[in-house]
Structure 1
Amino acid sequence: MRLLNRREFNGLWVALGSFASPTGTAGAASTGAARTAKFRDGTVVPALGQGSAGLGKGKHPHAVEEEAVHTGLSLGMTMIDTAEVYDSEEFIGRAIAGQRNRVFLVSKVWPNHVAGNGVMRACEASLERLGTDHLDLYLLHWPNGVTNLSSVVTAFENLRSAAKIRAWGVSNFKVSDMEDLFRIPKGDSCATNQLPYSLADRGIERDLLPWCEQHGMPVMAYSPLGGTGASLLRDPTLVRIGAAHGCSAAAVALAWTIRNGNVIAIPESGSVAHVKENAVALSLTLTPQELQSLDAAYPLPNR
């Protein structure tokens, strides 16, 4: 499939947008109730949150990025995901100051920091950087290098008992990793598994996504717009579908990702305009025909 260059993209957007409404401007996106996802403990969150791996690093002025975060919160994207290795926790702490009660706050511990009482120390350091007394969700960032998963689970449970965290989960775990985790005492208290998932990266649909569904566990999808380069946003199929709904290709890609109620997407943006585009996905309803077109354009890869 050939991607559009910038000139072709702009031309197609304008041309298709002229058919979206009689006035020649794109109409409002086809909307329904805002999508949510439910964790295993009954906690309900919006199916679209905000990532932060690249925020606070000077790509945009901090004030602009803070405004983008505030815009996301006002539009219902109240889950904010960060991690100790992102170097964005202090930025997020400033951005949500005075609004902590509106935010479902997620951070992660790096696997190199879990030995001994490392999980407790890492959590305390994250809390200090974030300017809060608790995390809503705390994740083990990777399974790599963790030789005693049971001790990590125990540390998470101790943090929960101490009200430092309200729930815990994992990230980048394969099915075999999840099965190992669930064999550990209290391992089945895991709330979620955060993974890469997008139209361009559908591999987890073969085994991991069904496994999590069977265990009543939503998946958190990072890089839901396809990661570096975001070629999805220039794809003519997504551009055409977006024009039909009066929204961006990004909103289409995100609406596809969260379509079934068991995925929480966490796109990152330091741009107010892009956050507004993303937020449309919370209530964007794609037709069966549009879903078929997207499946045809981005089929599930062979094993």
Structure 2
Amino acid sequence: MREVTIGDSNVPAIGLGTWHMGDNNATRGTEIKALKDGIAAGARVLDTAEMDGNGRSERLVGEAIKGMNRDELFIIDKVLPSNASASRLEHSLDTSLKQVGTDYFDLYLYHWRGAIPLSETILTLQQMQTKGKIKHWGVSNFDISDMEELLELPNADQVAANEDLYNLGSRGIEYSLLPWMRERKIPLIAYTPVAAGDQRGRLTADPVVKQIAANHSASAWQIILAWAIRDGNTIAIPQSNDPKHTVDNVLAANITLTANELAQLDVQFPKPNSKQPLDMR
């Protein structure tokens, strides 16, 4: 299974997203089973956020991992911009830790840029790392200008990852941001890695994608995920409420696309030739 180094951990390149999970009591049991089965299939990364369902996703993750060996998991959480100040961040972090039922997060992300000075947020994140409440900190929905600003700040070399929307149909970050991150060995966490809505339908129905899927006895979803993690420096965090689909997502980390298949996908879904606005959900 393909792995990525993030912080001081090597983790499988496909984790478990939880956006929109925990909102419906009628599906709660199935969602918990999906997370448990995904972990049993080899996933270690679970990605959640205080924003997701106003804590309901965090509580769902906590219920799913109850009784598991915490050291075998890599849990990512995120702080909202409105809570990213020196006066509010630690309280927000403590609330999220309680929701998930853990003493620390492996990675804690600044969810997106807000009105709080970036220097204040980064200093506070660094303090949380020193206190042991988080092992590493990072950012989310940062474009290249945000990352360049970040790296001018004290302790910026501690940034462990940037989480951005990225998939076969949304390749805008490949023009400048992704090469910049690769040069500095900053991993990417790709959210919405199989796209959403109509775009997802176009990707999964594409004849080239379907042919490559047939080559690997895989699903179109698995090929799209295998493409997202092809460079060895990207963790994809697809979300699914269905246990079987979740397991299939995790197993996509075993698929290696050939150079010819990657070239075919480049023709069908070209990389950008100019700077694009950052895609955000």
Whether TM-score is above 0.5 comes out as yes
Partner residue, 1:69: 35
Residue 60 of structure 1, CA deviation: 6.2
User: TM-score, with normalisation over the residues of structure 1?
Assistant: 0.85
**Is 1:118 equivalent to 2:88 in the alignment?**
yes
User: For 1:145 and 1:256, how far apart are their aligned partners in 2?
Assistant: 35
Partner residue, 1:244: 215
User: For 2:168 and 2:32, how far apart are their aligned partners in 1?
Assistant: 28
Worse overlay, 53-62 or 176-185: 53-62
**Is 1:55 equivalent to 2:25 in the alignment?**
no
User: For 1:36 and 1:110, how far apart are their aligned partners in 2?
Assistant: 28
The match for 1:102 among 72, 75, 85 is: 72
Cα contact 2:42–2:250 (8 A) shared by 1: yes
User: For 1:58 and 1:236, how far apart are their aligned partners in 2?
Assistant: 35
Q: Deviations over 1:24-83 (max 9, x none)?
A: xxxxxxxxxx111112x4321111101001111128611111111011111111100000
Partner residue, 1:300: 271
Q: Deviations over 1:233-262 (max 9, x none)?
A: 222221121112111001100000101101
Worse overlay, 215-224 or 149-158: 149-158
User: For 2:210 and 2:172, how far apart are their aligned partners in 1?
Assistant: 23
Cα contact 2:14–2:236 (8 A) shared by 1: yes
**Is 1:291 equivalent to 2:265 in the alignment?**
no
> 3-state DSSP class of the match of 1:61?
helix
> 3-state DSSP class of the match of 2:197?
coil
User: For 2:118 and 2:26, how far apart are their aligned partners in 1?
Assistant: 38
Residue 115 of structure 1, CA deviation: 2.5
Cα contact 1:60–1:270 (8 A) shared by 2: no
AA aligned opposite 1:291: L
Q: Deviations over 1:162-183 (max 9, x none)?
A: 1100000000111111111111
AA aligned opposite 2:58: E
User: TM-score, with normalisation over the residues of structure 2?
Assistant: 0.92
Partner residue, 1:78: 44
> 3-state DSSP class of the match of 1:80?
strand
Q: Pick closer, same or farther for the CA change 1:59–1:207 going to 2, 3 Å.
A: farther
Residue 278 of structure 1, CA deviation: 1.0
AA aligned opposite 1:294: L
Structure with the bigger RCO (C-alpha within 8 Å, sep 6+) is 1
Cα contact 1:181–1:188 (8 A) shared by 2: no
Residue 281 of structure 1, CA deviation: 1.4
Partner residue, 1:151: 120
Residue 89 of structure 1, CA deviation: 0.5
Unpaired runs of 5+ residues, structure 1, are 1-33
User: For 1:276 and 1:115, how far apart are their aligned partners in 2?
Assistant: 38
User: For 1:142 and 1:276, how far apart are their aligned partners in 2?
Assistant: 29
Where does 1:161-180 land on structure 2 (aligned, <5 Å)?
161-180=130-149
User: For 2:264 and 2:251, how far apart are their aligned partners in 1?
Assistant: 20
Q: Pick closer, same or farther for the CA change 1:245–1:102 going to 2, 3 Å.
A: same
User: For 1:77 and 1:290, how far apart are their aligned partners in 2?
Assistant: 26
User: For 2:153 and 2:211, how far apart are their aligned partners in 1?
Assistant: 48
Worse overlay, 212-221 or 274-283: 274-283
> 3-state DSSP class of the match of 1:247?
coil
User: For 1:138 and 1:106, how far apart are their aligned partners in 2?
Assistant: 6
**Is 1:226 equivalent to 2:219 in the alignment?**
no
Worse overlay, 132-141 or 221-230: 221-230
Cα contact 2:167–2:224 (8 A) shared by 1: yes
Q: Bigger radius of gyration, 1 or 2?
A: 1
Unpaired runs of 5+ residues, structure 2, are 275-281
Q: What count of residue pairs does the alignment treat as equivalent? A: 268
Where does 1:194-233 land on structure 2 (aligned, <5 Å)?
194-229=163-198, 230-231=200-201, 232-233=203-204
Residue 301 of structure 1, CA deviation: 3.1
Worse overlay, 92-101 or 79-88: 92-101
